[in-house]
Structures are given as structure tokens and as C-alpha cells.
Amino acid sequence: MDRSSLAAVIGNNSLENWKVIGAGGFGQVHKARHVNWGLDVAIELLRCDGSSASLHNEAEMMSKGASLHVIRILGVYKDCPPTCGPSIQLGLVMEFMERGTLESLLDTLSLHPPWPHPLAYRLAHQIALGMNFLHCLIPPLLHQDLKPNNVLLDDCLNAKASSRLLVLIRL
């Protein structure tokens, strides 16, 4: 995967097999296959109109949150999504997390994992590592909306904080 330009613009010519998988705080979330990278990605299309430049700046800022415990931003989507009509839309292209949200896992486990449980401790530890990483950056980034729905899980049930709501703290 070419990561030389983190906020690279990604269009339909690089994506196939679109599927709506949910709705985030900022717009509809899709899963698609990136044909050049050979991996599934999540695309959060933005509800509100914004400038492409401001989205690129946000993606660059969010890229500073690159950690094993924070979702990676792979680029900016700008094109006409096949599921949303003929208008050009903007969005963020992120790594796809196969197991969904911590909230859905808690629902599956009837709201609470049995305590003490190694999985519960591991997830809490991974979330804390992600937050610590963001807070230790210079300047620090704050998440602003940490909750089970914004913690995503990979296929091995490793936790990563969704990086969509990071705020740069000016010192």
C-alpha cells in the first residue's frame, strides 16, 4: 500500500463492492474493497458540505494519531458514491475493523463481560494505551467522545479508538 501521501484522494476507480455498514456521528459508513491495496476499507461519507482542503487538513491532523490503538486514516474520499446518487461527496477512508464496535460486543455479551475477565482487562488496557498515545503527542490530541460505540474491534478483538473526533490542543 502506498502511504507516501497520507491524505491522498481516493475515488471510485480504486474501490469496489460497496456496502452500507452503519452510520457514524458525521455520516453514513460504507465498507469497500480497495483494489490497489488489496484490503477492505471503511469510508465515512460526510453529511455536511465542507471544503476538500479542510478535510485534507483534518486527515493530516488525524494521521498524527497513528498508533496500534487508534484507527488509521488512509486517505480522503472524493467522488460520487455508487449508493448515494450523482453528487460528489467527501469522506474519510479508514482501516476496516472486522468485529465492529465495543458496543455491539457488549450487546452480544448481555451488556457486561463477566468480571474479572481477561478480555475485559485487555480491552480496557488497549483503550487506555490509545488515549495515552494521543495525549502524549506534541501538541496533544484529545478524543472528545470516547464511548463503546467509538471503540472498534479487529478480527482478534483488539480495541482501537475511532479517530474521527480528535481535537488538537494548542499549548
**CATH annotation of 9-95:** 3.30.200.20
Backbone angles phi, psi at 153, to 5 degrees: -120, 135
Separation of alpha carbons 75 and 55, rounded Å: 10
Catalytic: which of 49, 145, 154, 155? 145
Condensed to tens digits (0 to 9), the pLDDT of residues 48-97 reads: 555 566 666 667 766 665 789 998 888 889 888 887 777 888 888 989 99
| pTM of model > 0.85 | no
Domain coordinates in residue numbering, the chain:
9-95, 102-168
Question: Is 145 labeled as catalytic in the residue annotation?
Answer: yes
Q: How far apart are the C-alpha atoms of 67 and 132, rounded to whole Å?
A: 10
Q: What's the CATH code, domain 102-168? A: 1.10.510.10
Q: Would you say the CATH fold of 102-168 matches that of 9-95?
A: no
Query: 86-133: per-residue pLDDT in tens?
Result: 788 888 898 999 999 999 888 887 766 666 788 889 999 999 999 998
Could you tell me the pLDDT band of residue 153, with boundaries at 50, 70 and 90?
very high
pLDDT value at residue 164: 60
At residue 156, the pLDDT reads: 94
